[in-house]
Amino acid sequence: MNNSPVDRALFDQVMVPCFAPLDVIPVRGEGSRLWDQSGREYIDLAGGIAVNALGHRHPALLRALQDQADQVWHLSNLYTNEPALRLAQRLTELTFAEQVFFCSSGAEANEAALKLARKYAYDHAGSDAGKHEIISFTGSFHGRTLFTVSVGGQLKYRQGFEPVPAGITHLPYNDVQALKDTVSERTCAVIVEPIIGEGGVVPAHAEFLKAARELCDQHGALLIFDEVQSGAGRTGSLYAYMETGVTPDILTSAKGLGGGFPIGAMLTTRQIATSFSVGTHGTTYGGNPLGCAVALALLDTLDNPELMAGVKRKSQLFIDELRALNGEHGLFSDIRGQGLLLGAELAEPYKGRARELLALALEQGVMVLMAGPDVIRLAPSLIIPDNDIQESMTRFDRAIVRFLGNG
């Protein structure tokens, strides 16, 4: 086994160049902190892009993984396994759902949801009804498969991959009238993020989600909530839909669901799930015992009102700190989000420079994210200590000073 040191330059030699990682290579994590190859410490406000819901090396997740690793790692779907059954049961106990499909990622969960919506329409309206239109929204992001990248509302991610699947319409996000003008008997599904993530951390208006629900009911379409980023406690509820007064027909979950271990899930009702009869859809790694064991431990940890209340309290602490920084520097035009999914949009003179600020923050020992070229995104551990929040904002302040000094 080759354990010789590696550096960032090796990436350019051996990895497909669809990513452009920064120079830092983290090698160890604990709680909300990471250390790189040289031993330098960072406060992690990125969370693997809203994945490390309980930070790094959380003892409950470690114990679940280690215990399951001593039993069985993988089984094909010719068999089921105890962790998958326990996790599915727990998800149905905690949500509107009655049945669950497991997979390995958010893109797979959304692919399954979109396929299920079309299959359900086919089964109930007939093949000649033309009920296949999927309505999505500008700025949305639903994955990188050809289908999900086509449904996503950002042209840059599907350019060069044409022809893309047909029957997809994109509307302005939070535009109720556009929904009313477009949803029809031809619509099989409306897919929406309760909080747009990649497109700038934009929460949905309550009346917008309510209108989507009413229009889907009126026209016999399914409402899909993509909660890949907003779910698993990220907003201070297990799933964001729980705070909206709107219940979807299908919900997708991934990212934080495994706390860092790859797992995705599509949740739905028993009636809708019948359209995925044996052989209509599948996956190799979905329901993997290791992933399911870790996800179950995560759900058990999140099923704690005090922890969920802490997410909302910590959210306000971040917002207060960001507003104080903005009062001093005037860098942001808006600070928004919900729970510990927050976005700070750069003011007009600084548009397009989010990656520059991200790199300067890294130099000061704090990891942040972008949500497009104009928005700094924060998605830290849901249990990040208050002192780490305050220290991270002190470091971020230093990064802002350098950023503004660069003109």
Q: What is the pTM of this model?
A: 0.96
- Looking at the domain assignment, is residue 105 inside a domain? yes
At what angle are helices 59-69 and 289-302 packed, to 10 degrees? 150
Q: Give yes or no: residues 133 and 90 share one domain.
A: yes
- Looking at the domain assignment, is residue 3 inside a domain? no
Q: Give yes or no: residues 127 and 232 share one domain.
A: yes
Contacts of 321 (CB under 8 A, 6+ apart): 389, 390, 393
Q: Which of 259, 281, 302 finishes a domain?
A: 302
Stated length of the chain: 407
Q: Report the alpha-carbon distance of residue 359 to residue 273 in Å, rounded.
A: 45
Q: Number of folded domains in the chain? A: 2
Q: Report the alpha-carbon distance of residue 19 to residue 179 in Å, rounded.
A: 35
Q: Give yes or no: residues 118 and 164 share one domain.
A: yes
3-state class of 115 per DSSP?
Answer: helix
- Looking at the domain assignment, is residue 228 inside a domain? yes
Report strand pairing: 195-196 vs 202-203.
Answer: antiparallel
pLDDT in tens, the chain (407 residues): 567 778 899 999 999 999 989 999 999 999 999 999 999 999 999 999 999 999 999 999 999 999 999 999 999 999 999 999 999 999 999 999 999 999 999 999 999 999 999 999 999 987 778 899 999 999 999 999 999 999 999 999 999 999 999 999 999 999 999 999 999 999 999 999 999 999 999 999 999 999 999 999 999 999 999 999 999 999 999 999 999 999 999 999 999 999 999 999 999 999 999 999 999 999 999 999 999 999 999 999 999 999 999 999 999 999 999 999 999 999 999 999 999 999 999 999 999 999 999 999 999 999 999 999 999 999 999 999 999 999 999 999 999 999 999 76
- Looking at the domain assignment, is residue 89 inside a domain? yes
Which residues in 130-277 belong to E strands, given as ranges? 133-137, 168-171, 187-192, 195-196, 202-203, 222-226, 250-253, 264-268
Residue 8's pLDDT is 92
Count of Cβ atoms closer than 10 Å to residue 358 Cβ = 20
Tell me the CATH number at 20: 3.90.1150.10
Q: Which of 259, 278, 302 finishes a domain?
A: 302
Tell me the CATH number at 279: 3.40.640.10
Q: Give yes or no: residues 352 and 236 share one domain.
A: no
- Determine the structural domain holding residue 29 and report its residue range: 8-57+305-405
Angle at 21 between CA 359 and CA 350, to 5 degrees: 35
